[in-house]
Amino acid sequence: MLKLFTYFRSSAAYRVRIGLQLKGLPYEAAPVHLVRNGGEHLQASYRALNPGAMLPCLQDGGTTISQSLAILEYLEEAYPGKPLLPADAAGRARVRALALMVACDIHPLNNLRVLKYLSSDLEVSEAKKTAWYRHWIEEGFRIIETHLARDAQTGSFAHGDRSTLADCCLVPQVFNAERFDVDLTPYPTIRRINERCAELPEFVAAHPAQQADAE
């Protein structure tokens, strides 16, 4: 069985949980707490599995994969049933681009280790750290909203009327935005897509509140 090293509130792990659910793949969840005991991901036992000490990490038999998008692409190739990518090359490129706008342009700037560095090493105040967090979400969402709103390929979901890799990335980022009280009013297309995804049992099952390690 697939084994996912995860943390309930990790948006990168959240992406993979959505993908696993959408593809109907059973898996064992192995929680790794990012705060407890100084961060369980920093312990030698987890570093032996993933030297980067980041979540998520997936094991499939003797194969170990890190990086959420690499994991999702692996699942797409190894388990092609219920695809997360469109059949056409242009559609796949568009979905990947939307996913990367979240995974590369927003998320790395707001990752937990970045926020810790701002506080501990640079002595940035909580107010300024929150402003930093909101700024990069708002900037990223402005761009994503523009792409989604102007493109006829946007449907009930980010691409057409079937959830894809793009939704796997977008929904966890909306969750983060809501946690930090980002005003989502300027992004009606993002909000609409997020609300549609929330109606699907696969997204419900992957939600942080539904995880065994939720707090």
**Which DSSP string corresponds to the chain?**
-EEEEE-TT-HHHHHHHHHHHHTT--EEEEE--SSGGG-GGGSHHHHHH-TT--S-EEEETTEEEESHHHHHHHHHHHS-SS-SS-SSHHHHHHHHHHHHHHHTTTGGGG-HHHHHHHHHTS---HHHHHHHHHHHHHHHHHHHHHHHHH-TTB-SSSSBTS--HHHHHHHHHHHHHHHTT---TT-HHHHHHHHHHTTSHHHHHHSGGGSTT--
Map out the domains of the chain with their CATH numbers. 2-82 (3.40.30.10), 89-202 (1.20.1050.10)
Written as tens digits, the pLDDT of the chain (215 aa) is 999 999 999 999 999 999 999 999 999 999 999 888 888 999 999 999 999 889 999 999 999 999 999 999 999 999 999 999 999 999 999 999 999 999 999 998 888 778 888 888 888 898 998 888 899 999 999 999 999 999 999 999 999 999 999 999 999 999 999 999 999 999 999 999 999 999 999 999 999 999 999 99
